[in-house]
Structure 1
Amino acid sequence: METVEERIYRRRWLTMLTLVSGLIIVIIDNTILNVALPSISQQLGASQAQLTGAILSYAVVFGSLQFTAGVLGDRWGRKRIFMIGLVLFGLASLAASLSQSPNQLVGFRALMAIGAAMITPQTLSILTNVFPPAERGRAIAIWAGCTGASLALGPIVGGLLLDYFWWGSIFFINVPIVIGTFIAAWFLVPESKNANAGKIDPAGIALSVVGLGALIFGLVYGGEKRDWSSVLSTGMIVFGVAILALFVLVESKIDSPSFDVRFFKNPRFSAASIAAAFGFFALFGISFFLTFYFQFVKGLTPLQAGLSVLPVGIAQVIFAPRAPKLVARIGPKFTIALGLAVLAASLFGYLFVSLDDPVWHVYVLGFFTGAGLAHVVAPSTESVMSSLPPENAGAGAAVNNTTRQVSGA
């Protein structure tokens, strides 16, 4: 008779597909709103401040709660938190699609972000526990490739939906995907948690939420308003950094911390986290730049502009699953260094993009950007997760994802 462990192993790729389905809709929602802002402004009568609020509410709540959700997954069950997140994300998406005012949209986007924060860290921590060490690198590489590709897909999906449906369709599309993912997860995703987890650390959780929320708010507000002299931008950033420093101090002195900060002393963990941060700093920035470049400089439609960002995602889908083979040959350190070098070279190339350049020049640069990212994000994520014991996979995944969200902001 088949054991539980054998059944989990046999279903591991179906589990991967289920988790990635949940991950993709969450990541797409980081960028899908950008192309719909003009339509929302016209049809809901949203002011620029309210549009900024719709962006801020998702970014701040999503970024500030991922660490907490990862910690709770380790203690209460990763599948349980994942499925609760799916339900909340799906219901909030439905409500957002039916919003009758800009303020309703801002509120429902915040609720979507709570569900999204519960989903994302669980996908990576569950994969880490489902796949054996021999296959874990490949599984994480596929996960990382889907993460990067999803960011590029956001403008494409948004543009396609806006060409044929109303603005709320960019949120409504999540509902059937959530339903299918929930049913699949019910049957295919195994439960896992840290059997030796200590008691909940309310002080650490509160400090992480406040610190991350303030930091991300300041970064996004400063970027949106282009005002770095404001208390709401630089002031919030300084406040957030100070609270996070206090978080590290508190966590280093208690018996049952939310996250053992001593892991940062491990060069493999800390260096890989920094490399992933650089990668996503570049990815979010380039995706934003290219969307506006193709729409306002080249005069393309939202859908055409979204499709023009596709080379970044295609390169990641091609190279991320192959990155573990290169790691096996030259090691993670040199693979990540090579990826950063390719990424830096492609970013340097954007300096020479002019108004009259043919679009295929930018397509080529985008492809090299994606190729470089694939060789940074995939091996760095695997290094982060493999440097932690499996029982801390949720907190490790949360740190990994939070680092990316802060970098993206």
Structure 2
Amino acid sequence: MAANNKRPILDVHGKPYNRTAMILVLLVGTFAGMLMQTSLGTAIPTLMTSFDINLGTAQQATTWFLLANGIMVPVSAFLVTRISSKWLYWIAYTILFAGMAISAFTPARNDMWIMFLVGRMLAAIAVGITMPLMQVIMVNIFPAEERGAAMGLNGLVIGLAPAIGPTLSGWILDKNHHIFGLLISDSWRTIFYLPMAVLIVVWILTPFLVKDVLPNRKMKLDISSLILSAVGFGIFLWGFTNVSSDGWGDMKTVILPILFGVIVIIGFVLRQLKMDDPFMDVRVFKNKQFTMTTLSVMMAMMAMMGVEMMLPTYLQNVHGLSPLDSGLMLLPGALMLGLVSPIAGAVYDRVGARRLAMVGFTILAIGTLPFMFLSSSTPDVFITLLYALRMFGIAMAMMPLTASAMSAVPQEEAAHATASNNTARQVASAVVVALLASVTQDIINNNEPAKHLQVTNPLAYANDYLQASMKGFHVSFGLGFGFAVLGIIFAMFLRKGKLIAGSTNSKRVDHEEVEMEAK
């Protein structure tokens, strides 16, 4: 992946630039933003206490982030086409910093929770720009034969950052720390302070090191498409975020928003199909390989995010671990993901996505199945090993699938393919977090002991409530296992070998046999 020394690498203005320095700035900045996706997972019990809210409400810190992120990602295709890479990143980092600051400085009162969520949503809007933009840039600045390895680097952000978020939060919440002589407090606010400090440095460097590497053109903003996209995905995901607090039977806040959102999304899709210059070109889904790869990516994200968000709460509420200890138990898995992602991307350059995805999803299913039978006495080291095994499987599947999805379409369609793929990814993440949080909370509510036992027999009440919690977590982990199995099924429909995108179509390169061009 080293730059070609025989001739300089040029941006769209014909000027040479340092590709390594640019990628480093993009990776660090986007990493700081992606940390926000899961960094509050370990802090959920702390937020429940600080703001005096229940589990379902506290999970909104994640679900509303994913909601806003899911709304913004479809817009990224237009923004990438219309605004220069350098200034689009700079604007996104500015919004990201503002969102983090709002959440960090929100007063810890129940009536101020909405302010906290506003900050989360602003940060999500920024991540909804930086994440797909980095993916499009990787596709454009690296040749096709190096794309798998490039997507492996991309995986350090979209995979490792969400995975390491809970561990970092647990370390912060455990006790005071000193870094370079500065006191780092044990407040949940510090979860925002550290990425904000990194972001300031990136914000300063961006105008100097990030270059315009994507061609831009004047594209008229289709207001109708923007409204349909925002309203459709927003209301659809909002309905799912309400499930954890209102239940599946609530007509006004759950059922009607989901149904109305689906109708509006269908209208959005139909409008894009009729446009000569679509806001987000959903025609990429006519490509069977792209569609099946995207479905597989969705299953990987749902399997990862579901357990990722529920496991810290399980470890703290059932095993009685501190935020730090629960975060440390997830650290080997996060490191496993970071280690394997670049390797899996490089292996994809040789063997393609189908084999790696099937092996990855199989390992993921094997690592998830035992979670359905965990108890309060399950050894912590066993949970750590299982989690690391799961993340190994996710890394084996995720990066090759992402590279394959981008290689399934012509390079000139990369922005729309990235927007479509990431929209599906974020919708899947938002739905699964809301789904598992609601299922867990509902089962706990339906099985919790009578309140009078708190006074008459506190020990019996504590034991019965623990058993109710275990039932909820078992079902949520079981759903995670189901997503892994679906991933295996979808992976079976992928073509063998590696896809190399051409100017008008994609070619499949199999090291065992050479086949004709694939549509």
User: Is the 2:141–2:213 contact (alpha carbons within 8 Å) kept by the matching residues of 1?
Assistant: no
Q: Partner residue of 2:181?
A: none
How far 1:197 moved relative to its partner? Answer: 6.1
Seen in structure 2, the aligned counterparts of structure 1 residues 196 and 146 have a Cα distance that, compared at 3 Å, is closer
User: Is the 1:152–1:306 contact (alpha carbons within 8 Å) kept by the matching residues of 2?
Assistant: no
User: Is the 1:121–1:397 contact (alpha carbons within 8 Å) kept by the matching residues of 2?
Assistant: yes
* 1:87 is aligned to 2:85: no
Pick from 161, 166, 170 the counterpart of residue 172 of structure 2. 161
Seen in structure 2, the aligned counterparts of structure 1 residues 78 and 233 have a Cα distance that, compared at 3 Å, is farther
How far 1:270 moved relative to its partner? Answer: 0.7
Pick from 3, 12, 16 the counterpart of residue 19 of structure 2. 12
**Which amino acid counterpart does residue 21 of structure 1 have in structure 2?**
V
Q: Partner residue of 1:173?
A: 194
Deviations 1:21-46 (A, max 9, x none): 12222221112223334444544556
Q: Which region of structure 1 is more displaced relative to structure 2, 37-46 or 249-258?
A: 37-46
Q: Partner residue of 2:478?
A: none
* 1:277 is aligned to 2:298: yes
User: Is the 2:148–2:403 contact (alpha carbons within 8 Å) kept by the matching residues of 1?
Assistant: yes
**Which amino acid counterpart does residue 240 of structure 2 have in structure 1?**
L
Taking the aligned partners of 2:61 and 2:383, their CA distance within structure 1 comes to 30
Identity, % of aligned pairs?
A: 27
How far 1:282 moved relative to its partner? Answer: 0.4
* 1:300 is aligned to 2:301: no
* 1:115 is aligned to 2:122: no
TM-score normalised by the chain length of structure 2:
0.73
Q: Which region of structure 1 is more displaced relative to structure 2, 297-306 or 104-113?
A: 104-113
Q: Which region of structure 1 is more displaced relative to structure 2, 6-15 or 209-218?
A: 6-15
Q: Which region of structure 1 is more displaced relative to structure 2, 204-213 or 47-56?
A: 47-56
Pick from 223, 231, 248 the counterpart of residue 269 of structure 2. 248
How far 1:158 moved relative to its partner? Answer: 1.4
Pick from 160, 164, 167 the counterpart of residue 149 of structure 1. 160
**Which amino acid counterpart does residue 218 of structure 1 have in structure 2?**
G
Taking the aligned partners of 1:142 and 1:8, their CA distance within structure 2 comes to 25
Taking the aligned partners of 1:147 and 1:45, their CA distance within structure 2 comes to 32
Taking the aligned partners of 1:199 and 1:186, their CA distance within structure 2 comes to 26
User: Is the 2:164–2:331 contact (alpha carbons within 8 Å) kept by the matching residues of 1?
Assistant: yes
Q: Partner residue of 1:71?
A: 78
Taking the aligned partners of 1:54 and 1:369, their CA distance within structure 2 comes to 25
Q: Residues 329-368 of structure 1 correspond to what in structure 2 (within 5 A)?
A: 329-368=350-389
Q: Which region of structure 1 is more displaced relative to structure 2, 299-308 or 253-262?
A: 253-262
Q: Partner residue of 2:203?
A: 182
Q: Which has the higher contact order (CA 8 A, sep 6+)?
A: 1
Structure 1, unmatched stretches of 5+, are: none
How far 1:10 moved relative to its partner? Answer: 6.8
Q: Partner residue of 1:395?
A: 416
How far 1:351 moved relative to its partner? Answer: 2.2
How far 1:99 moved relative to its partner? Answer: 1.7
Q: Residues 19-58 of structure 1 correspond to what in structure 2 (within 5 A)?
A: 19-44=26-51, 51=58, 54-58=61-65
Q: Which region of structure 1 is more displaced relative to structure 2, 315-324 or 197-206?
A: 197-206
Deviations 1:334-361 (A, max 9, x none): 2212212221222223223233221222
Q: Partner residue of 1:61?
A: 68
TM-score normalised by the chain length of structure 1:
0.91
- Alpha-carbon RMSD across the aligned residues, in angstroms, is 2.5
**Which amino acid counterpart does residue 5 of structure 1 have in structure 2?**
L
Q: Partner residue of 1:260?
A: 281
Taking the aligned partners of 1:217 and 1:316, their CA distance within structure 2 comes to 30
Q: Residues 115-134 of structure 1 correspond to what in structure 2 (within 5 A)?
A: 115-134=126-145
Deviations 1:372-398 (A, max 9, x none): 111211011111222233343333222
**Which amino acid counterpart does residue 315 of structure 2 have in structure 1?**
F
How far 1:330 moved relative to its partner? Answer: 3.3
Query: What is the DSSP-based 3-state SS (H/G/I as helix, E as strand, rest coil) of the residue aligned with 1:351?
Result: helix
Taking the aligned partners of 1:194 and 1:391, their CA distance within structure 2 comes to 10
Structure 2, unmatched stretches of 5+, are: 1-5, 177-184, 431-519
User: Is the 1:273–1:403 contact (alpha carbons within 8 Å) kept by the matching residues of 2?
Assistant: yes
Seen in structure 2, the aligned counterparts of structure 1 residues 328 and 285 have a Cα distance that, compared at 3 Å, is same
How far 1:291 moved relative to its partner? Answer: 0.8
**Which amino acid counterpart does residue 284 of structure 2 have in structure 1?**
F
How far 1:53 moved relative to its partner? Answer: 5.0
**Which amino acid counterpart does residue 10 of structure 2 have in structure 1?**
E
Taking the aligned partners of 2:96 and 2:394, their CA distance within structure 1 comes to 28
Q: Partner residue of 1:229?
A: 249
Name the structure with the higher helix share.
1
Q: Partner residue of 2:513?
A: none
Seen in structure 2, the aligned counterparts of structure 1 residues 391 and 178 have a Cα distance that, compared at 3 Å, is farther
How far 1:90 moved relative to its partner? Answer: 0.8
Taking the aligned partners of 1:316 and 1:48, their CA distance within structure 2 comes to 28
User: Is the 1:311–1:370 contact (alpha carbons within 8 Å) kept by the matching residues of 2?
Assistant: no
Taking the aligned partners of 2:258 and 2:54, their CA distance within structure 1 comes to 25
How far 1:230 moved relative to its partner? Answer: 1.7
